């Protein structure tokens, strides 16, 4: 088998989780893919205490110019410089795996086209739903069916906050801090709590499911910062829970879409989706309703989705 040399960009929650998985599972990866998969570089901005210090590099050029590197794993987050790095990696004939929803929502179509032209892969399963294989699901499981609707919970941080407020009466600020410590929240949790992270994910799903691109900024979006304990208690009295719901639906008038806190009856399947779990219903004309469920945030769930893509690419190399 060949040698697969990866470079991991960024050493935050996802980057570190991915490096840990590659090192812990090296033998298993070898038997699965027939290839020896290793991390050659980790791109960082400053030094960390780490077992992998000898792999640290500080400028992307080192990675770009090393023809040994066949897969770049982008885990920096944000649009820039992630976009420039990914585009130049693809253009140089390297495959790219990313967990960066903001990036994919903004530049996904363009980067997929560059990958196609260069005959390499651009994969982003980890960008939506963490460990939940929703991207593969939407792309592959509905080939013979038309998708009509998407409905679900797509952010671990806010679902964790709402769950803890509802179940234990804990206050918003305390719980947000815990969500950050657990590695669910973005570096700047504003994107989570204002619903922007969900809008990015919904934009990606709509592009794949409906073949229609709606920029995240054009999705009517309300986050959870206005959800008070009073509102949660009032919902409880009605046997309901408040969940941050992303929805997109084909109608006679076109596609309707939104992200907003929504009161769900306790017997709704999504009302039982707790903490960092995500769950999405996808409705297709031939298949009816499918539900995707699993951990939507955190180092290992997200790292494992990244690795799923890496393994798929390794098998093709």
Name the residues annotated as catalytic. Answer: 201
In angstroms, give the least distance from the CB of 200 to ligand HSE. Answer: 9
CA–CA distance, 263 with 245 (Å, rounded to integer) = 9
CA–CA distance, 66 with 54 (Å, rounded to integer) = 16
201 vs 250 by CB, closer to ligand HSE: 201
In angstroms, give the least distance from the CB of 292 to ligand HSE. Answer: 14
Binding track, positions 278-297, relative to ligand HSE; x by CB under 6 A:
------------------xx
The separation between CA 65 and the C-alpha centre of its own chain, rounded to angstroms, equals 28
Element at 301 (helix H, strand E): helix 299-316
3-state secondary structure of 117: helix
Q: Max CA-CA distance within the chain?
A: 62
In angstroms, give the least distance from the CB of 267 to ligand HSE. Answer: 25
Residue 86 Rama label (left phi>0; alpha psi -120 to 50; beta) = alpha
Subset of residues 148 to 167 that bind ligand HSE, contact rule: CB under 6 A = 155-157
CA–CA distance, 105 with 256 (Å, rounded to integer) = 18
Q: In the Cβ-directed half-sphere of 159, how many Cα atoms lie within 13 Å? A: 25
> Strands across the sheet with 95-98, in order?
56-57, 36-43, 3-9, 69-74, 95-98, 122-123
223 vs 296 by CB, closer to ligand HSE: 296
Rounded to a whole number of angstroms, the distance between the first and last alpha carbons of the chain is: 9
Residue 207 — φ and ψ, nearest 5°? Answer: -60, -40
131 vs 147 by CB, closer to ligand HSE: 131
| Contact call for residue 309 and ligand HSE (CB under 6 A) | no
CA–CA distance, 149 with 195 (Å, rounded to integer) = 19
Binding track, positions 169-188, relative to ligand HSE; x by CB under 6 A:
---------------xxx--
In angstroms, give the least distance from the CB of 157 to ligand HSE. Answer: 3
**Count of residues interacting with ligand HSE (CB under 6 A):** 11
CA–CA distance, 12 with 262 (Å, rounded to integer) = 32
86 vs 224 by CB, closer to ligand HSE: 224
Subset of residues 194 to 213 that bind ligand HSE, contact rule: CB under 6 A = 197
In angstroms, give the least distance from the CB of 101 to ligand HSE. Answer: 6
305 vs 311 by CB, closer to ligand HSE: 305
142 vs 277 by CB, closer to ligand HSE: 277
Among 192, 223, 240, 310, binds ligand HSE (CB under 6 A): 192
Subset of residues 98 to 137 that bind ligand HSE, contact rule: CB under 6 A = 130
Residues at the interface with ligand HSE (CB under 6 A) = 130, 155-157, 184-186, 192, 197, 296-297
């Amino acid at each position: 088998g060949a040698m697969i040399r990866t470079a991991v960009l960024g050493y935050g929650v996802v980057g570190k989780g991915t490096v840990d998985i590659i090192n812990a599972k090296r033998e298993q990866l070898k038997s699965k893919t027939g290839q020896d998969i290793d991390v050659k570089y980790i791109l960082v901005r400053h030094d960390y205490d780490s077992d992998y210090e000898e792999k640290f590099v500080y400028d992307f050029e080192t990675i770009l110019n090393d023809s040994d590197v066949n897969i770049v794993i982008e885990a920096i987050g944000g649009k820039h410089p992630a976009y420039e790095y990914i585009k130049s990696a693809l253009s140089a004939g390297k495959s790219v795996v990313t967990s960066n929803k903001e990036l994919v929502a903004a530049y996904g179509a363009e980067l997929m086209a560059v990958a196609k032209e260069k005959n390499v892969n651009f994969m982003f399963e980890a960008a939506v739903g963490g460990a939940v294989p929703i991207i593969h699901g939407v792309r592959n499981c509905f080939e013979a069916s038309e998708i009509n609707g998407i409905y679900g919970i797509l952010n671990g941080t806010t679902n964790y906050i709402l769950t803890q407020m509802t179940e234990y009466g804990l206050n918003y600020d305390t719980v947000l801090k815990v969500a950050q410590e657990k590695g669910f929240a973005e570096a700047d949790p504003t994107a989570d709590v204002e619903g922007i992270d969900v809008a990015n994910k919904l934009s990606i799903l709509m592009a794949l499911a409906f073949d229609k691109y709606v920029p995240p900024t054009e999705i009517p979006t309300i986050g959870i910062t206005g959800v008070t304990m009073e509102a949660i208690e009032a919902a409880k009295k009605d046997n309901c829970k408040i969940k941050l719901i992303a929805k997109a639906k084909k109608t006679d008038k076109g596609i309707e879409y939104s992200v907003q806190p929504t009161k769900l009856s306790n017997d709704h399947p999504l009302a039982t989706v707790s903490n960092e779990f995500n769950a999405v219903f996808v409705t297709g004309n031939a298949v009816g309703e499918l539900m995707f469920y699993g951990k939507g945030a955190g180092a290992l769930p997200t790292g494992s989705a990244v690795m799923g893509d890496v393994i798929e690419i390794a098998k093709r190399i």
